[in-house]
């Protein structure tokens, strides 16, 4: 049984049905000029309560890199959390596309604070051509630590960024999980809080290689279609991504999928706490970070459970590691309970030795 990543899970039956229908239907124009793509863009505008500019892509790394490149001048600085995906897990993709310098900021539980951002900005020599200049703030929601930036936190950070003339990007690979947890609207967590562009990911939450960049002010999206094409990310049979978004968003399906994943993470976290297992950070989405003794971790993996040690900044505990367990829309209550039972068996075996 895998708790390795929601990237490992398959697709929602509703999303699969939409793709199957598109495959068996009539031919359609290529490169996003098809009616299915227009329908998907309208659905996204409805979700965000305004007429937005939408660009579909096949990977979250491309969405992040191209969005950041579009918002940032090559001599600009991109401020992000040190453990963020754009900084630590995209092989320099944002720098490749933008030419800008990423500056990682430390922060507890995967979050940047206004004070830490202000301190980092204070390290720049603004107006000095020998120094990079304020460019873009990139926030990750959910964060890499599984925590959620609240509407107030996003607003405070956006206000500070704006006071320096910076744009605000949000990596929303698990944006659905954040919205489902916070019980806010997608608009409240993005453009109403000062976000300029969102990497709006569906892949981790029931879709198949379906990502989008959303600009909340259409004027700021000017010529992005050329940047996407030049970057090699304009998809030919565009409709097979577009129809996924339409089905995924219909009747709040995306939030139901994310809410289920969050509930399974809560169930898992509750069971771990009841067994005396400390968690590195609060559970605010679909990821759980238990601090597992090495022998217990090894025995769980020997029983076939798949999960990873966390490689980013985390609490240091002797003879133990912070591990990451991820629930998905497919995780069942029985899967969680079976894992907890396996943990009990492993602990009993260790105690008896």
How high is the pLDDT of residue 317?
83
pLDDT(57) > 80 = yes
- Residue 114: pLDDT band with limits 50, 70, 90: very high
How high is the pLDDT of residue 106?
96
Residue range 288-307: mean pLDDT, rounded: 96
Q: Average pLDDT of the chain? A: 97
pLDDT(19) > 80 = yes
Q: H helices within 139-252, ranges in order?
A: 151-163, 175-182, 186-189, 224-230, 239-249
Tell me the pLDDT tens digit for each residue of 273-287.
Answer: 999 999 999 999 999
Contact (CB, 8 A) for 324 and 310: yes
Domain ranges of the chain: 12-251, 254-352
- Residue 318: pLDDT band with limits 50, 70, 90: confident
Tell me the pLDDT tens digit for each residue of 151-166.
Answer: 999 999 999 999 999 9
The 10 Å Cβ neighbour count of residue 108 is 11
Structure tokens at 291: 């601090």
The span from the CA of 92 to the CA of 99, in Å, is 10
pLDDT(353) > 90 = no
The span from the CA of 136 to the CA of 197, in Å, is 11
- Of 79, 146, 88, 89, the C-alpha closest to 116 is 79
- Residue 4: pLDDT band with limits 50, 70, 90: very high
How high is the pLDDT of residue 334?
98
The span from the CA of 181 to the CA of 307, in Å, is 23
State the CATH architecture for 12-251: 3-Layer(aba) Sandwich (3.40)
3-state secondary structure of 147: coil
- Residue 331: pLDDT band with limits 50, 70, 90: very high
Tell me the pLDDT tens digit for each residue of 221-268.
Answer: 999 999 999 999 999 999 999 999 999 999 999 999 999 999 999 999
pLDDT(314) > 80 = no
**254-352 and 12-251 share a CATH fold:** no
How high is the pLDDT of residue 179?
98
Kindly report the pTM of this predicted structure.
Answer: 0.97
The span from the CA of 277 to the CA of 226, in Å, is 50
Residue range 296-314: mean pLDDT, rounded: 92
The span from the CA of 118 to the CA of 271, in Å, is 39
State the CATH architecture for 254-352: Alpha-Beta Complex (3.90)
- Of 50, 276, 97, 63, the C-alpha closest to 171 is 63
Residue keyed to tokens 């139901």? 256
pLDDT(313) > 80 = no
């Amino acid at each position: 049984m895998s708790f390795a990543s929601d990237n490992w899970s398959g697709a929602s039956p509703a999303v699969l049905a939409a793709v199957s229908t598109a495959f068996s239907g009539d031919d359609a124009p290529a490169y996003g000029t098809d009616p299915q793509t227009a329908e998907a863009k309208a659905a996204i505008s409805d979700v965000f309560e305004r007429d937005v500019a939408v660009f579909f892509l096949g990977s979250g790394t491309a969405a992040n890199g191209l969005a950041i490149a579009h918002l940032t001048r090559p001599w600009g600085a991109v401020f992000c959390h040190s453990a963020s995906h754009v900084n630590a897990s995209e092989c320099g993709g944002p720098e490749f596309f933008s030419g800008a310098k990423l500056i990682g900021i430390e922060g507890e539980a995967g979050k940047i604070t206004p004070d830490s951002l202000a301190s980092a900005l204070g390290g720049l020599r603004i107006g000095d051509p020998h120094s990079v200049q304020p460019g873009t703030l990139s926030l990750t929601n959910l964060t890499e630590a599984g925590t959620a930036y609240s509407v107030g936190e996003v607003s405070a950070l956006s206000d500070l960024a704006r006071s320096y003339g910076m744009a605000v990007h949000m990596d929303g690979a698990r944006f659905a999980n954040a919205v489902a947890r916070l019980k806010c609207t997608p608009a409240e967590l993005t453009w109403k809080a000062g976000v300029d562009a969102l990497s709006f990911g569906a892949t981790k939450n029931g879709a198949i290689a379906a990502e989008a960049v959303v600009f909340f002010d259409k004027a700021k999206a000017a010529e992005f279609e050329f940047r996407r094409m030049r970057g090699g990310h304009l998809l030919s049979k565009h409709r097979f991504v577009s129809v996924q978004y339409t089905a995924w968003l219909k009747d709040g399906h995306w939030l139901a999928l994310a809410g289920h994943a969050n509930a399974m993470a809560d169930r898992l976290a509750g069971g771990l706490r009841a067994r005396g297992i400390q968690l590195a950070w609060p559970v605010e989405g679909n990821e759980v970070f238990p601090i597992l003794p090495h022998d217990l971790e090894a025995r769980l993996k020997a029983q076939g459970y798949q999960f990873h040690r966390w490689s980013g900044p985390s609490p240091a505990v002797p003879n133990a590691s912070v591990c990451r367990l991820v629930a998905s829309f497919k995780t069942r209550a029985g899967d969680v309970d079976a894992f907890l039972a396996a943990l009990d068996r492993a602990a009993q075996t260790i105690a008896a030795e």
